[in-house]
Amino acid sequence: MNTGSLSVNSFTKTITMKKTCSLLIFFAWLLFIDSHANKPVPAFPAESGGIDSTVTGKPKKAGHFFITPFYQYTKFKNLKLISSTNYYKVTGAETADPYSQHLIDKYNKHYDTEYTNSMMGLKFGYQVLNGLGVSVYGGLSNFILKSWVSKENTQTLSTQEPAVSLGVSVDYERILWKDLRAMALVSFNYCKTGFGLSTTTSGADIISSKLTDIYWEANLALGYRFGRFVPYAGAGFTQQFINPVITEQYVTTNDNGNPYTEQDRFDSHFRGMSVYGFAGLDFTVNRMLSFYARGAFLNPARATFGINFTF
């Protein structure tokens, strides 16, 4: 008995069966993809920065809901100081010392102010009309604000625990010609946070710090569909409003040498305006699932990634 020959034949049959099964699975997968490719496939919602449409080239119809988990990183520079007031509290009495315009101009000339924000969020939206959608979102933000930025000194505030950000947006999409389309978007964001960490060069103890961040944006974009891909590019305008409040406490002495405790509260308001560009890419998987990536430049510098589920 030639056991070697039997082993070879058995091995050959096993390989043949594996190849046959692999081919069957491959053809089944092709049929699955082809069946889904013939269905209308919504792209990403326009409020995510993409061009909201279907593979057939039509805008998304009214009555659809969508949910979009996303991640966004933003860095905004060139914030300008518009007002600042120092409040001094000694033995229960508080006095206010607002910055003069001269001091404000001096700060803006010699110092920079910027922030970075890293946010994980979830967006809920609804198509009110064909091509017109509204959405709301909430997210957890890690915020870092740098003021008095210079070679000699920088004051930094950063969140120890994530803060809640809330926002709303309205988007509109219209086909211009065949697969060429335009999108308009207006959005508003609000975030209020307390800070767990603060660094300063004064040597005083930071007993509390908080910040309010408000901004709105308006975007216009053009996109063109290539099958399941929609590359797009556009320009936007934003206004940013930042209000940090820092309270310091330290022990000093009066003219008689007696120690006493003083609290200083610094309430500042910064504003920034910028025209920026952005570009991105949407990719549809099927009628319920799509992905998008978007980048903005130069100010703000921003990267956004998201997954869109349509119902």
Q: Which residue has the higher pLDDT, 256 or 180?
A: 180
pTM exceeding 0.75: yes
> From CA 307, how far away is CA 284, in angstroms rounded?
10
| Segment 147-166 mean pLDDT | 88
In a domain, 29, yes or no: no
Beta-bridge partner residues of 123:
68, 137
**Helix/strand/coil for 106:** helix
Q: What spatial distance separates the first Cα and last Cα of the chain, rounded to whole Å?
A: 66
pLDDT of residue 262: 82
Domain total in the chain:
1
In a domain, 3, yes or no: no
> From CA 266, how far away is CA 262, in angstroms rounded?
13
Q: Which residue has the higher pLDDT, 70 or 36?
A: 70
Contact 251, 271 (CB under 8 A): no
In a domain, 78, yes or no: yes
| Segment 135-149 mean pLDDT | 94
| Largest separation between any pair of C-alpha atoms in the chain | 115
What secondary structure letter does DSSP report for 47?
G
In a domain, 26, yes or no: no
Question: Which tokens in the block code for residue 181?
Answer: 């389309």
Q: Which of 28-32, 207-211, 216-220, 261-265 has the lowest mean pLDDT?
A: 28-32
Q: Is the pLDDT of residue 95 over 60?
A: yes
In a domain, 212, yes or no: yes
In a domain, 154, yes or no: yes
pLDDT of residue 2: 39
In a domain, 18, yes or no: no
Q: By residue range, what is the domain housing residue 241? A: 39-310
In a domain, 25, yes or no: no
| Segment 215-225 mean pLDDT | 96
> From CA 241, how far away is CA 118, in angstroms rounded?
17
In this structure, are strands 80-90 and 93-98 parallel, antiparallel, or unpaired? antiparallel
pLDDT of residue 255: 75
- Residue 242: in which H helix or E strand, if any? strand 229-253
C-alpha R_g of the chain: 28
Residue whose pair of structure tokens reads 């908080």 in the numeric block:
210
Question: Which tokens in the block code for residue 249?
Answer: 């406490």
Q: Is the pLDDT of residue 202 over 80?
A: no
CATH of the domain at 302: 2.40.128
Question: Which ranges in the chain belong to alpha helices (H)?
Answer: 3-37, 101-110
